Chains A and B, each alone.
Chain A
Amino acid sequence: MTVVVAPPREAAPTFHLVDEHEHAEGGSTMLGFWIYLMSDCLIFAILFATFGVLGGNYAAGPGPRDLFDLPLVAVNTTMLLLSSITYGFAMLSMERDRVGITQAWLAITGVFGLAFIGIELSEFAHMIHEGATPQRSAFLSSFFTLVGTHGLHVTFGLVWLTTLMVQVARHGLIQANRRRLMCLSMFWHFLDVIWIGVFTFVYLMGMLR
């Protein structure tokens, strides 16, 4: 039995790992992006709360029953849901390293996203044309803020989608592009989750008021 004596240089104790273990590049991106999404979730929570408080204040102006067109909202919801599943297919193609098919599914996702934005903008334009502007009542202010913020998110998602399609076309499905596509995947599905809240609490509940 030999007693191992610590060398003199280790006399001063260290209370942390001396050797930093290896971190892959971008290894923490997914968690960081998730935390961003959670903070985005708080923004929407505040906008939902505002709408919940102000949603009944019509100021003798038009209410949800006068303005909302539920079949159109149903079509819009379908567009967003379809874009979610096609993005899922893009991710599955990415897993199999099929650049062309991934790009095709991304393009289809973009088309559905554009359709969603187009329908939403035409709905807004119709409302504003009828005099139901954001300035008309507290209900309309909170409505345009909440639904508009969601629409802006989808728009930025489309810009991001286009950028990534160019990136994939140039560099292929490299590790960095896979990571970016996975971040956008989370972003896109997250927006669909927010839309569930919008169509339930704004449109469907509005028709019940």
Chain B
Amino acid sequence: MSNEIASAGSLPHGHGHTGHGHTGNEHAHGGHAHGSLQSYLIGFGLSVILTAIPFWLVMGDVLGNRETTAILITFFAAIQVVVHMIYFLHMNTRAEEGWTIMALIFTIIMVVIALTGSLWVMYHLNVNMMPVHDMSQMP
């Protein structure tokens, strides 16, 4: 009996809450977060550092090794993309009930397939189908 009253009493509240979640989408947890001054400044500071280091590595030829430098700057670029996603684009797993992150994960999968597939296939095409010059046939 008391249970029924409790549930009946909480019902309008629960309904009102879900209603708020949908109507106030742009300000409630369901929409996009805005970030604070602090989060923007942290993101900016990290971006400056993560941009400056690759430029310094390449322009100063600090390492003297192309492969290592290439791997390092790729690594810094990947971190900076994540920094931008979190601090500037305010990505999180909760925005739009998780659909934003789902779309992002799908896109990342597509991008990885397109990039690695293209580079891999075309590299092997170049290596294996390069015309062989037979110098003995030359006049």
Evaluate contact between B24 and A24: CB separation under 8 angstroms.
yes
Q: Is the interface of A mostly helix, strand, loop or mixed?
A: helix
Contact A38 B104 (CB under 8 A): yes
Query: CB distance B119 to A53 under 8 Å?
Result: yes
Instruction: Tell me if B11 counts as interface (CB < 8 A to partner A).
Output: no
**Which bucket holds chain B's interface residue count?**
35 or more
- Let me know if A49 and B115 touch, CB within 8 A: yes
CA distance A23 to B31 in the complex (A): 13
Q: Per-residue CB proximity of A31-47 to B under 8 Å, as 1/0?
A: 10011001001100110
Q: B55 contacts A21, CB within 8 Å?
A: no
- With contacts A49-B118, A81-B51, A207-B58 taken as known, whether A88 is within 8 angstroms of B88 at the C-beta atoms is yes
When the two chains form their complex, are residues B96 and A31 in contact, meaning their CB atoms are under 8 A apart?
yes
Instruction: Name A31-80 residues within 8 Å CB distance of B.
Output: 31, 34-35, 38, 41-42, 45-46, 48-50, 52-53, 70-71, 74, 77-78
Interface hit among A3-11, A122-130, A145-153, A186-194:
A186-194
* B74 and A53 contact, CB distance less than 8 A: no
Q: Is B22 in contact with A21, judged by CB distance below 8 angstroms?
A: yes
Q: Mark B3-36, 1 if CB is under 8 A from A, else 0.
A: 0000000000000001100111110000110111
Q: List, in ascending order, chain B residues with CB within 8 A of A1's CB.
A: none
* Interface 9-residue window, one of A112-120, A155-163, A197-205: A197-205
Contact, CB under 8 Å: B89 / A85:
no
Assuming the contacts A31-B96, A197-B77, asked whether A38 and B107 have C-beta atoms less than 8 A apart, the reply is yes
Chain A, 19-30, contact with B by CB distance < 8 Å: what is the 0/1 string? 001111011001
A92 touches B34 (CB 8 A): yes
Contact B55 A204 (CB under 8 A): yes
Across the interface, A42 reaches (CB within 8 A) one of B44, B47, B107, namely B107
What residues on B are CB-neighbors of A88 within 8 Å?
Answer: 35, 40, 43-44, 88
Does B88 lie within 8 Å of A84, measured CB to CB?
yes
The answer to the question of A196 belonging to the interface, with a C-beta cut-off of 8 Å to chain B, is: yes
Give, as a whole number of angstroms, the nearest-CB distance from A63 to chain B: 14
- List residues of B (68-97) whose CB comes within 8 Å of A's CBs: 69-70, 73-74, 76-77, 80-81, 84-85, 88-89, 96
Contacts of B89 in A (CB 8 A): 186, 189-190, 193
A164 at the interface (CB under 8 A from B): no
Measured CA separation A103–B57 after assembly (Å): 38
Q: A115 to nearest B CB, angstroms?
A: 16
Asked whether A22 lies within 8 Å of B19 as measured between CB atoms, the reply is yes
Does any Cβ of B come within 8 Å of A179's Cβ? yes
Which residues of chain A have C-beta atoms less than 8 A from B100's C-beta? 31, 34
Which listed residue (B70, B81, B103, B118) contacts A193, Cβ 8 A? Answer: B81
Q: Distance in Å from the Cβ of B54 to the closest Cβ of chain A?
A: 6
Expressed in whole angstroms, the Cα–Cα distance for A84 and B40 within the complex equals: 9
Q: Compute how far the CA of A41 lies from the CA of B105 in the bound complex, rounded to whole angstroms.
A: 12
**Chain A residues whose CB sits within 8 angstroms of the CB of B132 once the complex forms:** none
- Give min CB distance, B3 to chain A, whole Å: 16
CA distance A46 to B58 in the complex (A): 26
Verify if A144 is at the interface (C-beta below 8 Å from B). no
| 7 interchain pairs, CB-CB under 8 A | A21-B18, A42-B114, A45-B110, A45-B115, A77-B55, A186-B89, A197-B81
Q: Which 4 A-B pairs have the closest CB atoms?
A: A49-B118, A200-B77, A88-B40, A189-B88
